[in-house]
Amino acid sequence: MTPELIHRLHFAFTITFHYLFPQLTMGLALLIVVLKSVALRTGSEQWDRAARFWGRIFAINFVFGVVTGIPMEFEFGTNWARFSRLSGGVIGQPLAMEGVFSFFLESAFLGLFLYGEKRISKLMHWFSAVMVFVGSWISGFFIIVTDAWMQHPVAFDRLPNGQFQVLSFWQLMLNPWGLLQYAHNMTGAVVTGSFVMAAVGAFYLLENRRQAYGRIFLKVGVIAGLVSTILIIFPTGDMHGKYVARNQPVAMAGMEGLFKTEAGAGMVLMGQPNELTGQIDNPIVINDALSFLIYGTTKAEVKGLDQFPQDQWPTALPLLFYAYHIMAGLGTWFVLLMVVSAFLLWRKRLENTRLVLWALLLSFPLPYIANTAGWMTAELGRQPWLIYGLMRTSEGYSNTVSASNGLFTLLGFMGLYALMGLLFTVLIYREISSGPEPAVHAD
Amino acid sequence: MMGFIWFWLVAVMIVGYVVLDGFDLGVGVLHLFLVRTEAERKAALASIGPVWDGNEVWLLAGGGTLYFAFPLLYASAFSGFYLPLMIVLWLLILRGISLELRNHVEVGVWRALLDGVFGLASVLLTIFFGAALANVLRGVPLQADGYFFLPLWTNWQPGVQPGILDWYTVIGGLVALVALTLHGALWLTIKVSGDLAQRARRIVTPLWLVLAALTVVSLVATIAVRPASLYNYFNYPFTFVVPAGVIASLAGIWLLNRKAQPVKAFLCSCLYLFFMLAGACWGLYPTLLPATTGADRNITLQNAISGPHTLAVGLVWWSFGMALAACYIVFVYSKFRGKVDLSSAGH
């Protein structure tokens, strides 16, 4: 039990739990704007009620996101002091900007959206929904900028005391890694939002209750789901993957489990990386596919792990491989499901095709898994570096916080979050059970 | 110059946090014993419902600003105060969850539990925040490498190797508890009506007496624990206007509350918090975190500040962003101004 491992787990656990909530709120914020826009254009009370219903789901998720988000900012200082001391001048900037530009906006307009509907005009209420959406997407941007600089440090130099300093504000903000990651990540949030909305719609239709709302949710969820599941693979996933292959070739080799450099490298669909023998056990391979996906030609050479000294290999190779393959595999399932659902929706047969409704209902946890696995791919791929090529993870954690102090608070968070997870499930269950009609809702 | 500006910008964020989140923490403390019916509790909590989350943003934005402008201070203080900060995080989590979710469960044991958690977390947070500030004023045992690690308590004496809690920092915690409870009582006087507003107004008197006494005690104690706090005041005697402001705003709270002018009394309470914090910051300047292990180990503006280019650019976006934020904040508070009307509370 080394302090490094404990501090990594501490951050990894708290951020993984945290990101379950923002990925829904960021996706849902967009869909609520859609619901509110239709309500505003058509004057339909039903769409307004649908928006209010998702507003309540949003509110619960938002609170959980806020309270689990505060520890993330603190942990830079508490658990990663040596990293913060040197990099605060760079990544402190987007983190401070997130508070200043996004959280004030988001919290102010969310207050209006949830509590102020009777105090403001319909147009103003719609505008509040738009501002909540804008605020949450700005917030995502600054977090990605922070991570992108750690993945792909740009526009910096070092002061005499070792601190990193930003040389160009705009290059930091427009880091190409960040822009690609932002597009990919936000699309992922929309995938989560649309799967959740479609699942609740499918649930109502399968239960033969509130069919009118079920149809609305299904329609919005499936259309948004179709667009976002395609965008997440092409172009955002494709471009991001190519960029990783060029700028972090060792991470790509780890993701793909490519131990040996090959011209015409194959893509492993399934298998288990064996670090001892340096090969994939029981692989299922598509020949030449990896070379083609990265370089557009089947004959291109792809660098394997053998091109890099072993102390630069990603430290958790099998985990990285599984995370990446789970993300990619689920992404394929998402497109299949949404294409079929959208086709049936267009033919007006979706609400009677119970098998597909069941598939939509049961698939709602999968985007959470895919988004989590995607983040694990990015962060495990960066190891052993904290700032890629510049600072190792072993150089960044707080020296003064011992492993067992770290373990103590990690266990504390685990207990607290387990309790909160239960509470969250009960609350969401109740909201979905009581539905969008106001009379049914307790107070 | 950049150091001077950013020192005070961080101070502005801290004052903004204490003045705004202060009243909702105070309402959290008060609702434990001041309200008598569910309707009153609903009114008290509805008075902070739409704004508490925005108020808490000041803590996050302030933390980010501190991280960005003084990375060494952020790294050293946050890792050194590791255990109490984790407790603060847990309390913030419990407080936010219990406040937001009480309306999602039926009246009864579950709601009473959430209300109790909300109140207790509010009490403990005010004490922790006050004690945290007192820890910074007293100083910490900084090592030569700029780090330290404090236990929760040692012998309760503010010596070379103190704990988070000693007699001095406990006084700081009590000042914060009483000051913010009073602040919350004045907020309730403005925002709710009927019997509850009367009770909130009446409780100001005993709270004020305790606060006045604690203010004097904490001032004397601060000078005793860290005599260097007076250095700036004697060098620039006009800055004695700050402690004078503390006294004037305290007097203002008393007089205006008696005259039943709750808005003005509340503004005096804001001023009181402002002068107390500004006075503490000025007592520190240009030190950011004093070392009990010798002044040469102090974390100061000079050794903690970020690069000059970073800070120059930061000044542009910070001013722009906070001006925007001020617009939303004014807009939201104006939309929710006046007494709480439970019939229009949504959600």
Question: Where along chain B do its domains lie?
Answer: 2-235+279-335
Mean of pLDDT values over A400-414: 95
Residue corresponding to tokens 């510049």: A390
d(CA A273, CA A253): 11
Lowest mean pLDDT across A37-46, A141-150, A434-443, B45-54: A434-443
pLDDT value of position A345: 95
Interface test with A, best of B97, B102, B110, B331 (most A CBs within 10 A): B97
Q: Are A133 and A32 in contact (CB under 8 A)?
A: yes
Q: pTM to 2 decimals?
A: 0.94
Across B142-180, b (16+ Cβ under 10 Å) vs e yields beeebbbbbeeeeeeebeeebbbbbebbbbbbbbbbbbb
pLDDT value of position B345: 47
User: What is the distance in angstroms between the Cα of B249 and the nearest Cα belonging to chain A?
Assistant: 29
**Interface contact A409-B86, CB threshold 8 A:** yes
pLDDT value of position A438: 63
- Amino acid identity at A350: L
**Interface contact A103-B61, CB threshold 8 A:** yes
Is A48 in CB contact (< 8 Å) with chain B? no
Neighbours of B248 (CB within 10 A): 14
Lowest mean pLDDT across A116-130, A169-183, A188-202, B178-192: A116-130
Q: Say what the ipTM of the complex is.
A: 0.91
Percent over 70 (pLDDT), chain A: 99
d(CA B270, CA B11): 15
Please give the DSSP secondary-structure letter assigned to residue B154.
Answer: S
**Which residue of B lies nearest to A96 if distances are taken between CA atoms?**
B64
pLDDT value of position A142: 96
Which H/E stretch holds residue B1? none
Q: Are B192 and B43 in contact (CB under 8 A)?
A: yes
pLDDT value of position B202: 92
CA R_g for chain B: 20
Mean pLDDT of chain A: 93
Q: How many CB pairs under 8 A join A and B?
A: 236
Q: Are A224 and A193 in contact (CB under 8 A)?
A: yes
Closest Cβ opposite residue A104 in set B149, B329, B335: B329
d(CA A143, CA A150): 11
SS3 call for A137: helix
Mean of pLDDT values over A38-48: 93
Tens of pLDDT, residues A92-129: 999 999 999 999 999 989 988 988 888 889 999 999 99
pLDDT value of position A440: 43
pLDDT value of position A439: 52
The answer on pLDDT for A441 being more than 50 is no
Q: How many CA atoms lie within 13 A of B76 on its CB side?
A: 25
pLDDT band at A443 (very low <50, low <70, confident <90, very high): very low
pLDDT value of position B136: 94
Given a cut of 50, the residues of chain B with pLDDT beneath it are 344-347
**Interface contact A412-B149, CB threshold 8 A:** no
Chain A residues inside the 8 Å CB shell of B61: 96, 99-100, 103-104
pLDDT band at A137 (very low <50, low <70, confident <90, very high): very high
The answer on pLDDT for A4 being more than 50 is yes
User: What is the distance in angstroms between the Cα of B53 and the nearest Cα belonging to chain A?
Assistant: 6
**Which residue of A lies nearest to B329 if distances are taken between CA atoms?**
A108
Token pair of A253 as six digits: 């080799």
